[in-house]
Structure 1
Amino acid sequence: MTVDSGTLAFSPGQSSKPIAITILGDTIDEIDETFAVRLQNPVDATIGDNPGIGTIDDDDGPTISVADLTVTEGTGGSKTANVVVSLSASSVQTVVVNYSVEVDGGATYPASVSDFGPGTGQLTFTPGQTSQQIPVSIVTDSDDEQNETFLVRLLSSPAPVDATLGDASAVVTIT
């Protein structure tokens, strides 16, 4: 916001006057901010409540997205597929997102739950952090098979941060 000063002149019988406050928008996710409007030096009047307090509601929450991934299955044992979840911008607040790892029911060759570790969880981004990974266990084998897929879905971003879901579903392909 811009800081300014000025004079209010009331006409006879007038009991209120607006004061225009210019808010300077930005794209930074931050906590709501407060400001005070202080009246002083009245002439032929008294000041009641002083100062008046205003709040600038932050509306710049980040967008949360998850990226598709291709992982080579390999043979014997297991390996980890690290699915990347990112914020479009850093936040000064903690950002939380819930997720699920599940069978891709719409795929031509869906991976079965014996091929990967399904489940649910929650990621917590600390202030300033913009990227995290969801580790998913891949069970390897020596079977000759088609590429198989499963999904990682971002489910919700609980309050209080006003983060929104961007690309909320990633296809993980096991080759």
Structure 2
Amino acid sequence: MTLSNPSANATLGTSAATLTILANDTPTVGFSSATYSANEGDGTATINVTLSNPASANVTVNFAATDGTATGVSGSCPGSPTAVQDYVTASGTLSFSPGDTSEAFTINICNDTGDEPNETVNLTLSSPSANATLGTSLATLSIADNDPPAISFQSSVFSVNEGDGTAVITVILSSSSSGSVTVDFAAANGATVPAIGVTPPPPTCPASPTDTQDYVIVSGTLTFLPGDTSETFSINICDDGNDEMNETVSLTLSNPNANATLGASAATLTLVDDDP
């Protein structure tokens, strides 16, 4: 503000001054985002909370981290966390000193070794001090799994009628992979009442199989393309004309590549006799 042009019977003294307009808006306290993310192997997740404008006095607000789809533990992560020990529950109070507009709290993340879906933690703010109001008071922390999927037989037991001709064996991934997954498979004579395999070539049953020609021995490699969770291989079954006991074939998986681990790697195929 300025003064100027006094009349002839006056002179100017202090002709300039400043008016300061003091903001009296109540600041709003809230999460800086509605969603946060952390990798399971990061160890911690930092959650930022902001004040819409500085306050002239301390502002406080309570925070809490509770179970969404993730499961919390108290105190600290165990030395070898399981799939139901995902993070350390947290609660407390944040304090903004005069002039501050940003504070943060930390959540400890437990790095287990089990393949599992990405999981969530619910974040809440509550009970701001009288000189602030609540803004975004709810948010979600997503914990991204960092463990490779497990590859397994779909079942530990399969069965097929001797006259069916083929047995289809299903192998599954516990979750899809971003890279290709390979695993070796093999079918061999069973341990209990073993079926007797025919060694290829050719990879077919004889025209008139005997009671010691029950199936065609098979081995190979399955490939799961990115996004796939199920693959199969087939075993040719030889239909002889002899009455015999039900017999078994041993199934194994081995040598997964670096994008997967082995889960249930052994199974049994039972050949059900169909001869009177």
TM-score bucket of the superposed structures, by smaller chain: 0.5 to 0.7
* Structure 2 match to 1:42: none
2:165 counterpart of 1:72 = no
* Structure 2 match to 1:102: 188
Shift of 1:145: 0.8
Of Structure 1 and Structure 2, the greater strand share is in 2
Shift of 1:93: 1.3
Runs of 4+ in 1 over 4 A off after TM superposition: 2-5, 20-26
Which residues of structure 2 form unaligned runs of 5+? 1-37, 39-44, 49-105, 119-144, 198-212
* Structure 2 match to 1:112: 196
2:266 counterpart of 1:169 = yes
- 1:139-170 Cα offsets, whole Å, 9 max, x none, are 112211100001110012023x1x11111011
Q: How large is the RMSD of aligned CA atoms in angstroms?
A: 2.8
Equivalents in 2 of 1:100, 1:28: separation in Å? 30
Identity between Structure 1 and Structure 2 (%): 37
Which residues of structure 1 form unaligned runs of 5+? 6-19, 30-57
- Provide closer, same or farther for how the CA distance between residues 94 and 28 of structure 1 changes in structure 2, counting only shifts above 3 A: farther
Equivalents in 2 of 1:101, 1:59: separation in Å? 32
Map 1:82-161 onto structure 2 (within 5 A).
82-104=168-190, 106-107=191-192, 109-113=193-197, 114-159=213-258, 161=259
Q: How many residues align?
A: 128
Kept after mapping to 1: 8 A contact 2:150/2:263: yes
TM-score of the two chains, using structure 2 as the length reference: 0.41
Map 1:32-51 onto structure 2 (within 5 A).
none
Kept after mapping to 2: 8 A contact 1:28/1:60: no
TM-score of the two chains, using structure 1 as the length reference: 0.63
Equivalents in 2 of 1:172, 1:95: separation in Å? 24
